[in-house]
Amino acid sequence: MVSTQPTLREVAKQAGVSIATVSYVLNGRTSSKKTISEATRQRVLQAVSELGYTPNQSARHLRRQQTERLCIVLPRLGVPYYEILCQHVAAVAEQHHYNVVISLTGTREKEQEVLQQLQRRLADGVLAVHGDWTAEELERLVASGIAVTLMHNETQGRGIDIVQTTEEEAFYQAICYLLQQGYRRIACFYVERFGRDGRLEAYKRALNTFHLPLDETLVIHTPESRKAVYERITQLLRQEERPDAIFTGSDNVAITALWAAQDAGLNVPDDLAVIGSGNIPEGEITSPPLTTVGPASLDFGDVAEMLIDRLRNPDQPQRILLREWELIIRGTVSDKK
Amino acid sequence: MVSTQPTLREVAKQAGVSIATVSYVLNGRTSSKKTISEATRQRVLQAVSELGYTPNQSARHLRRQQTERLCIVLPRLGVPYYEILCQHVAAVAEQHHYNVVISLTGTREKEQEVLQQLQRRLADGVLAVHGDWTAEELERLVASGIAVTLMHNETQGRGIDIVQTTEEEAFYQAICYLLQQGYRRIACFYVERFGRDGRLEAYKRALNTFHLPLDETLVIHTPESRKAVYERITQLLRQEERPDAIFTGSDNVAITALWAAQDAGLNVPDDLAVIGSGNIPEGEITSPPLTTVGPASLDFGDVAEMLIDRLRNPDQPQRILLREWELIIRGTVSDKK
DNA sequence: TTGTAGGCGTTATCAG
DNA sequence: CTGATAACGCCTACAA
């Protein structure tokens, strides 16, 4: 079996015209008025559909010096926040005739590999989400003519548009809220990253504000799988001096905490308060509904627009999009105490 | 700002050699023995790293007639099953020096667009998961020299390797199990697709086996969002003649049903039985733990291997990988009755 | 209104 | 051992 991708030349032969004519018909727009007679136009289109012709991307991109593709780089799947983001970006990109592919990094190694791919022009633009890329690495991408938008609170770089959130401030408020309500043994589940973790920083700062000491045994690295999370929390709740509140880096972990608490016979919020992060829709239908911290808006259209805008106009000044996060009070923290 | 992607030519100039020499150094392998003196070799590598040269993908692919890329096509994100799949495939592909990108289809429209992309050689191989592509469309891909592996129970085509599951049989067993336990008003949540839905077929067949009539009001199209699912189930449970069992097409929906039941004051499994599908890890930590139907194994390495194998050897006979699904009995169906 | 030709950056086949 | 050089398939300025 031979791969028989028809070429422009074959279409031209089939239609009995030159390749340039075919190209004109297909690409339409060209400088000034390149009109094609309706007759040849039809013949060309006929030939195209007969052969099932479709232009070769590599050739087109080589010639045009652009891929008409965007790449969203995610650390991993399974995060609702990312899923919404991908949907919105894909929708907006589509309107602007860009295709979207997703690359998964996961490990630092894989991250480097994706960086390579991008350097080699996998796409014209990148939306890098929460990765561990350094400013230097990102700037190298920009230097090779790739538009970069970064969703990250810690990293930034020249020529890179950034989407930042006020999440750390919201985390701080959340912890303070727990402390105000009288909770004292607050467990904090953080996510390991290369840089600093906003959750942890907010946690420490809040304890400081209330002049409370840090208990290291309450600072817990979030396990990978949900089941492992459940087991870790269960263990935590069964120990001698159990925490009276749990602050987590994700709503999924928080919901898991709700399950673990129920199974351990603890009442939420009276025996145990829980605060999540991310404000996923599930949080509204747990019982009690989940008090959480999350973005005030989940519309990522503007992020996509910003990326595409830079693509069209690479020399414009760098921009920062600030997204408000807020404490969303529902039912998993007690009001009295 | 100009995009300054250095080219082979520039590297050659910098190193004071011809572009051919640079190519030899970088690609190493070539017909017979093309040795390069260590001296020039070093000079070339020096120049490469000085300029930060990295070969242009489009040009390379155009010349080589391959992209060294695989594409996983998913209907949407947010499905744990897909996420595991992606991880496994990415891991295996990486070993074989293939890159992996993910494309999202969602709508039928988007599906066509991705098909276009693939036709234009977005990738050398496709793993199409649960889409609505017709055999014809897929065969067209194969005809243009793209390796296709399809995970689908209903579709197949010439030259296309297929991964099928025995899920419909397992669904049938699940419904029969409910009926055997004495449940009679079983609600079935199905997922709309273009073709037939295995869940629905299994449901009807099981009712048939037990000589029971089909109650259309118990056949329910699964809403999009989890919150909408919750509301739909709540409504269902509060109606006059409520169902005494729920069979769902996904564990997430089943877990949502657990929540809705709890909030409606119903005991699972005594007042309401629930069976999910997919066997996600969360099912083990709900209370009661979720009875479900799912794949006996969640290792997708062999799927990736099959795809890569076909890439390397396109003319081999078509293969079918059959993956066993089974009923996993836990705590959401009553034993007595 | 249509055709010709040159080149995008690589690779690979030839000679030198 | 190294250097020209011809494709790969497409686009487009320029010529006819």
Alpha-carbon dihedral A239, A243, A248, A252, rounded to 10 degrees: 60
Q: Please, where are the H alpha helices in B161-250?
A: 167-180, 198-209, 226-238
Confidence grade of residue B4 (pLDDT, cut at 50, 70, 90): low
> Among A87-91, A162-166, A303-307, B119-123, where is mean pLDDT lowest?
B119-123
Opening angle at CA A47, ends A43 and A52, nearest 5: 150
Nucleotide nearest the Cα atom of B56 (by C1'): C9
Residue B135 makes CB contacts below 8 A (sequence gap 6+) with: B155, B156, B157, B160
As given in the structure block, the two tokens for residue A263 are 């199974």
pLDDT at B1 over 50: no
Q: Say which CATH number the domain at A215 has.
A: 3.40.50.2300
Nearest nucleotide over every DNA/RNA strand to the B6 CA, judged by C1': C9
For the purposes of burial, counting CB atoms within 10 Å of the CB of B213, is it exposed (0-12), middle (13-18) or buried (19 or more)? exposed
**Residue B34 Cβ under 7 A from any strand D atom:** yes
With distances taken from each CA to the C1' atom of nucleotide C5, the closest residue turns out to be A20
Strand C contacts in B 19-48 (CB under 7 A):
19-20, 23, 26-27, 30-31
Among the listed residues B246, B245, B207, B206, the one whose alpha carbon sits nearest the alpha carbon of residue B229:
B246
Contact A106, A130 (CB under 8 A): no
Kind and range of the H or E run holding B187: strand B186-190
Q: Is residue A62 part of a domain?
A: no
DSSP state for residue A195 in the 8-state scheme: S
- Regarding whether A214 and A157 lie in a shared domain, the answer is no
Write down which residues 45-74 in B have CB closer than 7 A to strand C.
53, 55-56, 59-60, 62-64
Instruction: Point out the nucleotide closest to A31 (alpha carbon to C1′).
Output: D12
Q: Are A187 and A247 in contact (CB under 8 A)?
A: yes
Predicted local distance difference test score (pLDDT) of residue B337: 58
What are phi and psi for residue B298, nearest 5 degrees? Answer: -110, 30
Q: To the nearest 10°, the Cα dihedral for A175, A178, A183, A186?
A: -30
Tokens 């877990």, residue? B255
Measure B326 CA to nearest chain A CA, in Å.
21
Asked whether residue B116 falls in the same domain as residue B200, the answer is no
Contact A75, A129 (CB under 8 A): yes
Report chain A residues whose CB lies below 8 A from the CB of B90.
104, 106, 110
Provide long-range contacts, Cβ within 8 A and 24+ apart, for B266-273. B266/B237, B268/B332, B269/B331, B269/B332, B269/B333, B269/B334, B270/B334, B271/B244, B272/B237, B272/B243, B272/B244, B272/B245, B272/B246, B273/B178, B273/B181, B273/B183, B273/B244, B273/B245, B273/B246, B273/B332, B273/B333, B273/B334
- Kindly indicate the confidence band of residue A2, based on its pLDDT and cuts at 50, 70 and 90: very low
Residues B143 and B76 in one domain: yes
C1' of nucleotide C2: residue with nearest CA: A21
- Please check the confidence at residue A276 and state whether its pLDDT lies above 90: yes
Does the pLDDT value for residue A144 go beyond 80? Answer: yes
pLDDT band at A43 (very low <50, low <70, confident <90, very high): confident
Distance from CA of B226 to the nearest CA of A (A): 7
Q: Which B positions 232-251 lie with beta carbon below 8 A of chain A?
A: none
User: Which nucleotide minimizes the distance between its C1' and the CA of B7?
Assistant: C9
State whether A162 and A174 are in the same domain.
Answer: no
Q: Is the CB of A55 under 7 A from strand D?
A: yes
Closest-approach residue (CA) in chain B for A106: B87
Rounded to whole angstroms, how far apart are CA atoms B54 and B298? 37
pLDDT at residue A5 is higher than 80: no
Helix axes A226-238, A251-263, angle to 10 degrees: 50
Percent of chain B with pLDDT over 70: 95
| B129 located within any domain | yes
- The residue type of B234 is T
Q: Over the Cα atoms of chain B, what is R_g?
A: 26
Shared domain for A178 and A277, answered yes or no, is yes
Q: Is residue B60 part of a domain?
A: no
Q: Which residues of B touch A144 (CB under 8 A)?
A: 3-5, 54
Confidence category of residue A33, pLDDT binned at 50, 70, 90: low
Residues 6+ apart with CB under 8 A from A266: A237, A272
User: Residue A60's closest CA among B72, B146, B113, B61?
Assistant: B61
Mean pLDDT of chain B: 90
Average model confidence (pLDDT) across chain A? 90
Q: Which two tokens stand for residue A316?
A: 């414009």
- Can you state the angle between helices A38-51 and A8-15, rounded to 10 degrees? 130
* CB neighbours of residue B61 within 10 Å: 22
Does residue B33 sit in the same domain as residue B139? Answer: no
Residue A332 contacts B, CB cutoff 8 Å: no
| Whether residue B270 sits in one domain with residue B125 | no
Q: Is A254 exposed, middle or buried (0-12, 13-18, 19+ CB in 10 A)?
A: buried
Residue range B218-269, pLDDT digits in tens: 999 999 888 899 999 999 999 989 999 999 989 999 999 999 999 999 999 9
pLDDT at residue A38, rounded to an integer: 81
- Find the mean pLDDT for residues B100-122: 88
Instruction: Quickly tell me which residue has 């118990």 as its tokens.
Output: B218
In a domain, A226, yes or no: yes
Instruction: Write the residue in A227, A262, A287 that is nearest to B284 by C-beta.
Output: A227
Interatomic CA distance for residues B146 and B138, integer angstroms: 10
Residues of B in contact with A314 (CB under 8 A): 1, 3
| Averaged pLDDT for residues B310-323 | 92
* DSSP at A281: G
A33 nearest nt, CA–C1'? C1
Who wins on pLDDT, A94 or B177? B177
Q: Could you tell me if A233 and A150 lie in one domain?
A: no
Q: Does B140 touch chain A (CB under 8 A)?
A: yes
CB spacing of B120 vs A284 below 8 angstroms = no
- Asked whether the beta carbons of A149 and A139 are under 8 A apart, the reply is no
**A11-50 burial: b if 16+ Cβ within 10 Å, else e:** bbebbebeeebbbbbeeeeeeeeeeeeeebbebbeebbee
Kindly tell me if the per-residue pLDDT of B187 is higher than 70.
yes
Q: Is residue B330 part of a domain?
A: no
Question: Is residue B31 scored above 70 in pLDDT?
Answer: no
A219 occurs within a structural domain: yes
Query: Chain A within 8 Å of B219 (Cβ-Cβ)?
Result: no
Burial class (CB in 10 A: 0-12, 13-18, 19+), A219: middle
* Chain A with chain B: Cβ pairs closer than 8 A: 164
The yes-or-no verdict on residue B69 having pLDDT over 60 is yes
Q: What global pTM score does this model have? A: 0.86
Nucleic acid strand D: bases within 7 A of protein CB: 1-5, 7-13
Any domain includes A50: yes
* Contact A286/B at CB under 8 A: yes
Looking at residue B194, its pLDDT comes to: 65
Q: Using the beta-carbon criterion (under 8 Å), do A99 and B80 form an inter-chain contact? A: no
A275 sits in the region (left: phi over 0; alpha: psi -120 to 50; else beta) called beta
pLDDT at residue B313 greater than cutoff 60? yes
Bridge partners of residue A326, in order along the sequence: A294
Query: Do B119 and B216 lie in a common domain?
Result: no
State whether A4 and B159 contact (CB < 8 Å).
no
Instruction: Answer whether residue A1 shows pLDDT above 50.
Output: no
The count of other CB atoms within 10 Å of the CB of residue B74 is 24
pLDDT at B185 over 60: yes
pLDDT of A3 higher than 70? no
Task: State whether A232 and A275 are in the same domain.
Answer: yes
Among the ranges given (A27-41, A242-256, B321-335), the one the predictor scored with the smallest mean pLDDT = A27-41
* B58 Cβ within 7 A of any nucleic strand D atom: no
What's the structural domain count of chain A?
3
Please tell me the predicted confidence (pLDDT) of residue A194.
65
Chain B residues within an 8 Å CB radius of A108: none
Q: How far is the CA of A18 from the C1' of C8 (A)?
A: 21
Task: Please indicate, yes or no, if residue A331 is contained in any of the structural domains.
Answer: no
Contacts with A127 (C-beta within 8 Å, 6 or more apart), sequence order: A70, A71, A72, A73, A89, A149, A151, A303, A304, A307
> Given an 8 Å threshold on Cβ–Cβ distance, is B56 in contact with A120?
yes
One domain for residues A285 and A171? yes
Structural domain harbouring A266: 167-295
Is the peptide bond between B269 and the residue preceding it cis, with omega within 30 degrees of 0?
yes
Of the candidates A5, A61, A76, the beta carbon closest to that of B144 is on A5
Same domain, A135 and A201: no
Q: Is residue B59 predicted with pLDDT exceeding 60?
A: yes
Q: Please report the pLDDT score of residue B330 as a whole number.
A: 96
